[in-house]
Structure 1
Amino acid sequence: MASSVIHSPSTSPSSSTPFYSHTKFSKVCNFTQNAKILSPSSLFGKTLTIITNDLYSKPMNKKKSSILVKCSVSSPALPAALLFDCDGVLVDTEKDGHRVSFNDTFTERGLGVSWDVDLYGELLKIGGGKERMTTYFNQTGWPEKAPSDDAERKEFVASLHKRKTELFMTLIEKKLLPLRPGVAKLIDQALAKGVKVAVCSTSNEKAVSAIVSCLLGPERAEKMQIFAGDVVPKKKPDPAIYTLASTTLGVDPASCIVIEDSAIGLAAAKAAGMKCVVTKSGYTAEENFENADAVFDCIGDPPQERFNLDFCGSLVAKQLAS
């Protein structure tokens, strides 16, 4: 396994003094293939001595020579906050949760509307359930039972969404939809290190709270903040929800890590000036995530862990250094 440290001496070395001690870093010095690599936590507070022969592009006296470099190792970086999207990130809720609840609501109201799997996947490009229904009805025609007045239509959609949320919460309370792998692990790692944790979602606040309290448990829930639904006037891909979260939590956006599963969520996080890790979900696997800082199929639990809090810290360190 190879690794590297970064070192930049303030003066050029002399042949008589091959030992240099500096704390500013800018040039990469490679470890040898058989070097023993320690974790950042094991190095914290200690001094590392490295022998390298490639610190300078021009070898001293035209001969390869070893230089002893003493590097002080600082504390591993930690995010100030982890901000999770809800649907598709905490739980893969869309296909067998929200879609089913929308259809059950349409059936109860006798609207003659049903969203199949593919259609709902297209509708997910619109942030927010009420906005999703409004766009669909505007494009395909409003049901006969819907009012014609714009203000009354808004109330009509709100009532449909309220009933849909009730049906969805029943699914969550029965624990018919499980947490995605690694979610509880990553949240526990963050809370144990004093990292703030929040959920930022376009979904109804009651639905998000149900997922957090029922599936993550009350002990975790009481340590997490929820920003959801109509708490902001514009929904993802607008960055408002993430900007509100960083302001409320009192943290620098550059120190936040967002966990998202969709292109619109990624766009919102980036517009808010945050690093974003994508964990693909059932509906979003083929979306374009080229602007993401990392993309995985899930967070993952050991021994199939994809990433952890240390990885998130490395992204923060990169963000602050850039």
Structure 2
Amino acid sequence: MIRTVIFDMDGVLVDTEPLHHDAFFRHFAELGIPMSDAEYATFLGSSTRNVYQLLKAQFDLPQDVEALINRKREHFAKSFDASADLDLLPGARELILDLHRAGVPLQLASSASKETIARVFTRFGLYPYFDNLVSGEDFPRSKPDPAIFLHAAQLAGIAPAECLVIEDSANGVTAAKAAGMYCIGYKSEHSEGQDLHHADQVVSHLGQLSAAGILALA
């Protein structure tokens, strides 16, 4: 029986990935780091902190990790505030409202920073619908490590086996399954190149999901 739904944010609720991509690549150019789109794709689902920890070690960067993170966030903040057409992904608000009306508690477990989560939740008025917001910046390892999902379940007071996760990245799906949770892979146009075959179910539009359908899962 499913008693709570845990949402990822980027690529599930809102597509801020192009803004992150732009911010990262502007910063990579400043740092003189060569980066292909294929290499960048391996970072999807990881926290910004973990990305820069890896890059600092790989390229022997003189800046400390905090300085690297802050510079990337400066780029992202400018892009976010300037983006007039940024909106929730199709079906996201409808699914949130449907689950809320059905009395299903909602959690967020995102690799995004607390600052980015706050920007998204403030802009789209999502705070009233979620019980807990968990940021990947509070964990030493990113997805596919299951810690972020296990912590969300603990905050909700619900056993992992009774949690359902909606994820759009291979790392996220792996983390959800490692946590012992039911996982729906969201294979949208924004998740190209992500292998979601290990999810329990894969949808191409959030409109394919409903509170009734989720609660009917064994």
TM over 0.5: yes
In the other structure, the counterpart of 1:135 is 54
Shift of 1:113: 4.4
Q: Tell me which amino acid in the other structure corresponds to 1:187.
A: I
Give the % identical residues: 30
What are the residue-to-residue correspondences of 1:171-320 with 2, within 5 Å? 171=82, 174-215=83-124, 217=125, 220-224=126-130, 225-282=132-189, 284-300=191-207, 306-315=208-217, 317=218
Following superposition of structure 1 onto structure 2, how do residues 52-67 of structure 1 map, counting pairs within 5 Å? none
Q: Distance in 2 between matches of 1:129 and 1:159?
A: 10
Aligned-pair CA distance for 1:233 = 2.8
Partner of 1:123: 43
1:24-43 equivalences under 5 Å are: none
Greater Rg over alpha carbons, structure: 1
Higher relative contact order (CA 8 A, sep 6+): 2
Alignment match, 1:170: 81
Distance 1:256 1:184, change over 3 A: same
SS of residue paired to 1:312 = helix
8 Å Cα contact 2:52-2:65 kept in structure 1: no
Do the aligned residues in 1 keep the contact of 2:173 with 2:199 (CA within 8 Å)?
yes
Secondary structure of the residue that 2:194 maps to in structure 1?
Answer: coil
Q: By percentage of residues, which structure has more helix?
A: 2
Contact 1:129 1:203 in 2 (8 A): yes
After TM superposition, the score normalised by the length of structure 1 is: 0.61
For 1:127, the aligned partner's letter is S
Does structure 2 conserve the Cα–Cα contact (< 8 Å) formed by 1:261 and 1:281?
yes
Tell me how far 1:278 sits from its aligned partner.
0.7
CA contact under 8 A between 2:10 and 2:16: conserved in structure 1? yes
User: How many Å separate the matches in 2 of 1:313 and 1:272?
Assistant: 20
Alignment pair present for 1:99 and 2:5: no
CA contact (8 A) 1:123 1:132 kept: yes
CA distance in 2, matches of 1:290, 1:106: 31
Give the one of 6, 31, 34 matched to 1:111: 31
In structure 2, list runs of 5 or more residues that go unmatched. none
**SS of residue paired to 2:166:** strand
Kindly indicate whether the alpha-carbon contact (under 8 Å) linking 1:266 and 1:289 is maintained by their aligned counterparts in 2. yes
The offset of 1:201, in angstroms, is 0.6
